[in-house]
Structure 1
Amino acid sequence: MWLDDGGSAVQATSRAKTPDSVPYAESRVIQARQAVCPVLQLPQRSRWACRKQKKHKLPTEKATITETPEISARTQFPEVKSQADELSHLEHQVNLACALLRSEQRVQARQVSEKALQQLQHLKAQGVQGSYALEYALRVNLACSLDSDVHGRKYQLQQAISVQPSRVEARFHLAAVMVEEGNYSEALRTLQEALKLAPLDLNCLALACRCLEGLGRHAEALAAAERLCGLDPASTFLALREVFHCKTDDVFVVTFPRCGTTWMVQIVVSCLFGPRANYEDHALFLEGSIASSATYVRKLEELPLPRVLKSHVPADMYPGLAHGKDSILQRYGKVIYVVRDPKDALISLRHHHANNQAIGWDGSWDEWVDQWISGQRSLEYGGSYFDHVKGWWKLSQHHPDRIRVVYFEDLKADLSAEIGAVASFLGLSLEKDALAEAAASCQFDAMRRRHKVDDEIRSRVNPDHFRSGQVGSWQTTLTQRQAQLVDDASQKQLAQELEQGLRVDIAGSAKGPS
């Protein structure tokens, strides 16, 4: 085993199961973009050199000051106060560099970090103590700002490790540089050292998955991914991005939540296994299954072909991407991505969260609209509806033969035609009778009658998974202002995609109630 922590990765996973009381949607989310390059921010201290002094009311009587040894010392040695102020200022510079890095302003972050590091070296020469954490953070953030200077990044990270060898961030970054160089063996050794210090570090575990895959040690990579998902189910996409291998005839059905995912899964299952087949017997909800048990990371390998996988994964975390690539697909696997009118999707997800006992949303519609537009209600799926659609639209434009965009409204308008188009995309041809039977089986009411919810699940989640399935329900639910907010966001955030041919209804907001 690549990591000797007193037990196998599978055993470690079993010890770290997520409690049933913690819903998947509310668990801590690793933002994969930050996980690739986490930066350091120091906690704020009680006083900052840059903070404005608080204004105090003048006392009505003159205060009597009794001199103490501490006051006397500050009076006799004013440089102590000056040094403390300089340290406080450097803390501010660390956090400024951190903010600049997160906003992709690497040149400015480098300038801030280099200047602060010079000031810190000057203070160290004067014998100032307690600056190790500052130097460590400055060097790690400086390394993050040196994009193309591999040697410089390595040097800064090695210096950071020598300053504070008990911390893991610098080791993680050093391993990431080694991965960029293709040196998976050294990277894995560095990660082993980091994980001995912090066995539960999720970033290190995720990068270890990539190293093990790069070394051809797939079984161990699966074990590491299983452990990662066991520690944090919200890391599912991050883990699968590193270890998942698409097989012949794999079909992914992907949507933003509440945009017709299960409906399309039933259509795919009817095409592949016959019109009487039920999606619950032939398809797997990817992140939901792994959230319930991390062992599904390994079970995915054992599913019979063809595998039908339902997911809300954002495009940049799609498991079918080539490992380490942003827009290149693996050899196998197709995706059907369903787009729904954002206003209807907003309403459906709100009802789902309100009726889901594990989430129990009880805020106002105004609050919901604002949070839905900003993506606060869908952080575990990579951000907002608009981010999700943009990502998949872009990927579909690069791979039109592998990714098909389908519209919820088209399914409602002519289900038979859409089923035929899906079958053709999957390389199948349905006879007229089979197509008619599949269309009958995939009607919304027919699916709702067949839908089963186990008693154990019913106590935690929404048993009424199939609510209405209507087009335009926003017209009787949203106010004019709320509908206009969604339309404005659609026009602004999907402007380029709309020009390229994406269809999203942004007309008729005035139909909503005032």
Structure 2
Amino acid sequence: MIPDFAMQNNIPNEADLLKATDGDVYLLAYPKAGVTWTTEVLTAIYSQYAIENPSRAAEFEGAIRAHGFCTSCPLSRRHSTKPGLTSVGYDINGNAVFHDETNDQKPRRLISLHFPVERMEALIPDAFQNDRVKMIYVARNAKDVAVSYYHFHKMNETLPTPESWEEFLDDFISGSVRCGSWFEHVRGWWRKHIELQQQHTNKLLLVTFESLKRNTYNEVERICNHLGLKLSPEGIEEVCFKCNFTTMKRDPRRNHSQNDIFKGDFLRKGKVGDWQNQFTQTQRQNFDDTMHSQLGNDYTPIVNSFAM
């Protein structure tokens, strides 16, 4: 497999996703690190905020979500043949949204991307410069990412089917998979996180898949604070309920069971530590050695956060 930073399977006419506008939230993550789940969390936050703040309901109920530059993602944009109308994503209820291109008014947007930080800085510099644009980076234990990514390749009609787990793991460790090296991806965004903290800039929030699983309530509250949105304790509990794995897996609008490119469950397990059922002892040791050599002591805080 070959890293695909160019993303040759781009969906046409997505240039507007690269133009950060007031109110945009960019969700960044390596594939299978939890960006779909986090998008659902943000969607539920917006929905609940609309309920608790009727005067701003239209603003948040009208928000759209889209995944840029990857046709295999269930949040990818779909385009209409209707003259003058383009599907720009999905609303908070999972319905396709068509935007009138003659209307300059931009709705609130939740945009998920798999960009490494260097690509984000090059293509969307306004995201770092506009104080009304927020970013959230989602990280996950690399072993669980590798296992989830392997099964995603096996069930996704648009991706090459791995010959074996052993071959895929070798490719993952070397960075010879789509989106390249997990290690480089996490290193880059961790450095940016530290840099922005030192500048006292409340621009980028770092969340881990494990922290969302361990204490969803606290993490939802952190995300709300990052976005400047206040929810009642009962509202946060409602968001947590809507976004737990069992609730999402039962909902056909959110489990992507109607997407014909998938040969199995898009929402597979949603667990922490499932890698232990896939890795051999030798593979675990080799991976841990690579992790240490690639990340080292400078990244101890984020590595520790992967543990439950």
Range of TM-score over shorter length: 0.7 to 0.9
Give the corresponding residue for 1:364: 164
Q: Per the alignment, in what secondary structure is the counterpart of residue 258 of structure 1? A: coil
Shift in alpha-carbon separation, 1:496–1:316, aligned structure 2, 3 A? farther
Task: Give the letter for the 2:111 counterpart.
Answer: L
What is the count of residue pairs matched by the alignment?
Answer: 270
Give the corresponding residue for 1:502: 302
Aligned partner of 1:252 among 7, 23, 26: 26
Gapped regions of structure 1 (runs ≥ 5): 1-24, 32-228, 508-514
Structure number with bigger Rg: 1
Give the number of the structure whose residues are more often strand, by fraction.
2
Give the corresponding residue for 2:219: 418
Shift in alpha-carbon separation, 1:418–1:390, aligned structure 2, 3 A? same
TM norm structure 1 = 0.47
Gapped regions of structure 2 (runs ≥ 5): 52-60, 81-85, 89-97
Task: Give the letter for the 2:170 counterpart.
Answer: D
Q: Per the alignment, in what secondary structure is the counterpart of residue 248 of structure 1? A: coil
TM norm structure 2 = 0.75
Give the corresponding residue for 2:115: 313
Shift in alpha-carbon separation, 1:330–1:469, aligned structure 2, 3 A? same
Q: Is the CA contact 2:139–2:207 (under 8 Å) kept in the aligned structure 1?
A: yes
Aligned partner of 2:190 among 393, 396, 411: 393
Q: Is the CA contact 1:315–1:395 (under 8 Å) kept in the aligned structure 2?
A: yes
1:283 maps onto 2:84 in alignment:
no
What CA distance in whole angstroms lies between the structure 2 residues aligned with 1:252 and 1:355?
A: 27
Q: Per the alignment, in what secondary structure is the counterpart of residue 368 of structure 1? A: helix
Aligned partner of 1:267 among 31, 41, 52: 41
What CA distance in whole angstroms lies between the structure 1 residues aligned with 2:105 and 2:245?
A: 27
Give the corresponding residue for 1:104: none
How much has 1:440 moved relative to structure 2? 0.6
Give the corresponding residue for 1:432: 233
How much has 1:411 moved relative to structure 2? 1.0
- Listed as ranges, the matches of 1:6-21 within 5 Å are none
Shift in alpha-carbon separation, 1:451–1:304, aligned structure 2, 3 A? farther
Shift in alpha-carbon separation, 1:418–1:331, aligned structure 2, 3 A? closer
Q: Per the alignment, in what secondary structure is the counterpart of residue 471 of structure 1? A: coil
Q: Is the CA contact 1:374–1:384 (under 8 Å) kept in the aligned structure 2?
A: yes
1:376 maps onto 2:176 in alignment:
yes
What CA distance in whole angstroms lies between the structure 2 residues aligned with 1:336 and 1:371?
A: 27
Q: Is the CA contact 1:246–1:331 (under 8 Å) kept in the aligned structure 2?
A: no
- Listed as ranges, the matches of 1:232-247 within 5 Å are 232-234=8-10, 240=15, 244-247=18-21
What CA distance in whole angstroms lies between the structure 2 residues aligned with 1:248 and 1:313?
A: 20
Give the corresponding residue for 1:39: none
Shift in alpha-carbon separation, 1:403–1:506, aligned structure 2, 3 A? closer
Q: Is the CA contact 1:250–1:333 (under 8 Å) kept in the aligned structure 2?
A: yes
How much has 1:273 moved relative to structure 2? 2.3
Shift in alpha-carbon separation, 1:412–1:332, aligned structure 2, 3 A? same
Task: Give the letter for the 1:321 counterpart.
Answer: P
Give the corresponding residue for 2:54: none
How much has 1:285 moved relative to structure 2? 1.3
Task: Give the letter for the 2:195 counterpart.
Answer: H
Higher relative contact order (CA 8 A, sep 6+): 2
Shift in alpha-carbon separation, 1:264–1:506, aligned structure 2, 3 A? closer
- Listed as ranges, the matches of 1:191-210 within 5 Å are none
Shift in alpha-carbon separation, 1:365–1:263, aligned structure 2, 3 A? same
Q: Per the alignment, in what secondary structure is the counterpart of residue 310 of structure 1? A: strand
- Listed as ranges, the matches of 1:14-29 within 5 Å are 29=4
- Listed as ranges, the matches of 1:67-106 within 5 Å are none
How much has 1:329 moved relative to structure 2? 3.4
RMSD: 3.6
Give the corresponding residue for 2:248: 447
How much has 1:300 moved relative to structure 2? 11
Deviations 1:52-89 (A, max 9, x none): xxxxxxxxxxxxxxxxxxxxxxxxxxxxxxxxxxxxxx
